[in-house]
């Protein structure tokens, strides 16, 4: 498996509980590795384009984990972050169904958002977290 990390900025600061955000990031990366038998896992970190940021918008940081794993059915995506919910295909792999729920609660407590994207089964997935940056 190929593991990649890409960061668009030299330094990005967010106001966050380091331990809790580490838990979120670790969960997303471990899930991508766990559900990807072969191919890639790519972690990216970037800020939004400052040219597009107006005085009314706070600049944000976007953390994403993409993989070439088992993918997610579109109808399952809205339930992924619910307590004890796991896709039928994911039940073959050990887990509690709490990781994404806890990650969502942590991100929400930090005023951010978390979501998942996938083109469907066998087409990989992408998990994203957006937080406001600290100036």
Query: What is the model's pTM?
Result: 0.83
Distance CA 24, CA 64 (A): 11
CA dist., res. 25 & res. 19, Å (int) = 10
Place of tokens 């190929």: 2
Can you give 55-121 as a three-state secondary structure string? CCCCCEEEEEEEECCCCCCCCCHHHCCCCCCCCCHHHHCCCCCCHHHHHHHHHHHCCCEEEEECCCC
What is the residue range of 124's domain? 2-132
Q: How many domains does the chain have?
A: 1
In tens, the pLDDT along 48-99 reads 754 444 555 567 899 999 999 999 999 888 888 887 665 555 555 566 678 8
CATH number for the domain including 63? Answer: 3.30.565.10
């Amino acid at each position: 498996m190929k593991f990649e990390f890409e960061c668009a900025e030299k330094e990005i600061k967010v106001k966050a509980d380091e331990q809790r955000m580490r838990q979120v990031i670790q969960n997303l990366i471990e899930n991508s590795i766990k559900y990807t038998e072969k191919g890639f896992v790519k972690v990216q970190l970037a800020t939004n384009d400052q040219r597009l940021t107006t005085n009314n918008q706070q600049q944000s940081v976007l953390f994403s984990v993409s993989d070439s794993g088992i993918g997610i059915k579109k109808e399952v995506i809205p339930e992924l972050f619910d307590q004890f919910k796991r896709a039928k295909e994911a039940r073959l792999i050990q887990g509690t169904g709490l990781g994404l729920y806890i990650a969502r609660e942590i991100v929400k407590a930090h005023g951010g958002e978390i979501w998942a994207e996938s083109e469907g089964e066998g087409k990989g997935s992408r998990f994203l977290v957006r937080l406001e940056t600290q100036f």
